[in-house]
Amino acid sequence: MATLTWHGSSYPTQVLVLTGRSLRALLRTPALVFFSVLQPLIMLTLFSQIFGSITSTANFPPGMSYINFLLPAILVNTAMQSSLASGIGLVQDMSNGVLARFRSLPIRPSTVLLARNLSDAVRTGFQLVLMIAFGVLVFGFRPDGGVLGTLAALGLALVVGWALSWVFIAIAAWVRKAELMQTVGFLAMFPLMFASSAFVPVNGLPGWLQAIAKINPLTYAVDAARSLALAHPVTGVAGALVTSGVIAAIGAFFAVRGFRRPLSL
Amino acid sequence: MTELMIEAHDVSKKFGDVNALDGVSVTARKGSVLGLLGHNGAGKTTLVNLLTTMLPPSSGTAKVAGFDVVKQAHDVRSRIGLTGQFAAVDEQLSGHDNLVLIARLLGASRAQAHQRADDLLEQFDLTDAARRNAKTYSGGMRRRLDLAASLVGNPEVLFLDEPTTGLDPASRLAMWEIVEKLVADGTTVLLTTQYLDEADRLADSITVLSHGKVVASGTSAELKAQVGQRTVTVTLDSASEVDLALKAINGVGLTPVAEGLTLTTPVSGSRDLATVVRALDDNGLEAHEIGLKEPTLDDVYLTLAAN
């Protein structure tokens, strides 16, 4: 037998190999890819049809089509949902058994988290591109911001999702229960989604919901994405990016700490 | 002096108020098999977790392949392989991709990694299933893939935590042969098991754990000598001979016990076998069957672990 002396790889190699592993696993599970795309598509279809008549109300910006209003919000929303899936993915990894092996290898635990985060960003990017394609081809999404504005909105949604993914990865690293995360995540996101500027203009909401919407960070993320896609005066993009950066840093810090705890406890 | 590949010195591990390990010391020479024997909850897996750097000890020190498991964890990890009780493979990847993944993480180039994966798949008789998702593998195949994965880096020390639990007899035997081959090639193995025959067959030295403490250690033969009693068993042809035989053996200073047609006599060594044969012969008795029975590891285990 040849004597091999592999005593560990570099940090970037570890991240790259592990990211590749997650993406490969995703590709080998086409059903998962299908449903991860189907869910936001259903949302896009339903909401664009159900809420379409809202354009005729007084609070709606005159002359704007509902799909142009809706799609940037769908992008942010999809990225947010995807970030929850990122945390759940980590919990599943932990029960998959392969993480136990990673722990006995000469690799840094943080690379596992970073890889999870990166591969999910790739997956989210794919989802978002598909949403935009559907919006343009099926629902007549024609934003004033054009291709560049739309891509900028996509990029912003991706950054928001990426930051939230760190939060859910951190929660996953501490909680380690997929069902619990799914339930709590859904309960937290559902009201956040509606008590925001995502589907109707904020001033069309009842007073108490307006109050919530105005402190809901999602409102600001959606407004920023919308301003980019629709070529409105750009509002809150820098704020959204900085906030995302801070959230990501805090999430990553706690994620690494939580993940370091032994698996079997 | 032979190089020690595993050295645990007085290690303890507390989980809250529970002493999972309480002052355990073990050693294993290069190229030997150390068997850890004990029932569920005896502390076997905890000791494996400490030695594989997965858990820090509450007190005590341990070295694996010459490196401290706490201060030089990275060095330890790059020299060990671990196969746990549950197959640690990525079920969403193929067998081949699982092995390539490990090789790449260990620092192999893409080409080396594929080569190593193919070699191991062949060695473990998994070539036909190489491109299938590990999810579709049978229990025995998963264990083989898991073991292959822990061997990707040619580890100097291999930890096998109950490697054959839940395997059918044929797969068990195959696993034993693999381990024997690895040891012949110079790998040091720490094996935990609840199966006495497994420890008896594979281990050069055995440490019996109970409630987190070492209750006995030594070679299989030493343990048996330490605890178990050798016996000479004599089976006679007819019931009428039983009383005569009892008297005859009593007459040479031994204390036989009869049960049916069989007399069991505790003895101190094989010399006593001759004594019993002579005593029977002198009294005109002929045994249907006679033999010296070594104590089994079951005797050792039951006696020690029960305390």
- What integer is the mean pLDDT of A71-80? 95
Q: How far is A176 from chain B (nearest CA, A)?
A: 18
- Compare A179 and B269 and report the one with higher pLDDT: A179
What whole-number distance in Å separates Cα of residue A221 and Cα of residue A230? Answer: 14
Question: Which whole-number Å values give the CA distances from A94 to A17, A161, A178, B241, in the listed order?
Answer: 18, 22, 10, 68
Taking 70 as the threshold, does the pLDDT of residue A9 lie above it?
A: yes
H or E stretch at A91: helix A66-96
Q: How far is B86 from chain A (nearest CA, A)?
A: 7
Test A4 with B133 for CB contact under 8 angstroms: no
Test A28 with B84 for CB contact under 8 angstroms: no
CB of B43 closer than 8 Å to CB of A256: no
Test A17 with B101 for CB contact under 8 angstroms: yes
For residue A99, list chain B residues with Cβ-Cβ distance below 8 A.
88
What's residue A99's pLDDT?
Answer: 84
Which residues contact residue A261 at a Cβ distance below 8 angstroms, ignoring those fewer than 6 apart? A173
What whole-number distance in Å separates Cα of residue A243 and Cα of residue A224? Answer: 12
pLDDT tens, B125-138?
A: 899 999 999 999 98
What's residue A42's pLDDT?
Answer: 93
For residue B154, list chain A residues with Cβ-Cβ distance below 8 A.
1, 3-4
**Shortest CB distance from B54 goes to which of A8, A14, A103?**
A103
For residue A259, list chain B residues with Cβ-Cβ distance below 8 A.
none
- Compare B293 and A83 and report the one with higher pLDDT: A83
DSSP string, A213-242: HHH-HHHHHHHHHHHHHTTPPP-SHHHHHH
What's residue B307's pLDDT?
Answer: 57
Taking 90 as the threshold, does the pLDDT of residue A112 lie above it?
A: yes
Which residues contact residue B223 at a Cβ distance below 8 angstroms, ignoring those fewer than 6 apart? B206, B208, B216, B217, B297, B300
Strand ranges across the sheet with B59-64: B18-29, B4-15, B59-64, B67-68
Q: What is the pTM of this model?
A: 0.81
Test A100 with B49 for CB contact under 8 angstroms: no
Nearest residue on chain A to B48, judged by CA atoms? A104
Nearest residue on chain A to B92, judged by CA atoms? A25
* Residue ranges for chain B with pLDDT beneath 70: 1-2, 227-228, 297-298, 301, 304-307
Q: How confident is the model at residue A1 (pLDDT cuts 50, 70, 90)?
A: very low
Q: How many CB pairs under 8 A join A and B?
A: 102
Q: How confident is the model at residue A75 (pLDDT cuts 50, 70, 90)?
A: very high
Which residues contact residue A12 at a Cβ distance below 8 angstroms, ignoring those fewer than 6 apart? none
Test A104 with B54 for CB contact under 8 angstroms: yes
pLDDT tens, A203-251?
A: 889 999 999 999 999 999 999 999 999 988 887 899 999 999 999 999 9
Which residues of B lie closer than 8 Å to A, measured between beta carbons? 15, 49, 52-55, 74-75, 77-82, 84, 86-94, 97-98, 101-108, 112, 116, 133, 149-150, 153-154, 185
What's residue B2's pLDDT?
Answer: 67
pLDDT tens, A149-167?
A: 999 999 999 999 999 999 9
Test A265 with B15 for CB contact under 8 angstroms: yes
Test A98 with B74 for CB contact under 8 angstroms: no
What's residue A87's pLDDT?
Answer: 92
Reading the block at residue B233, the tokens are 């068993």
The number of C-alpha atoms within 13 Å of A82 and in the hemisphere containing its C-beta is: 33
- Compare A263 and B134 and report the one with higher pLDDT: B134
The number of beta carbons lying within 10 Å of the beta carbon of residue B290 is 16
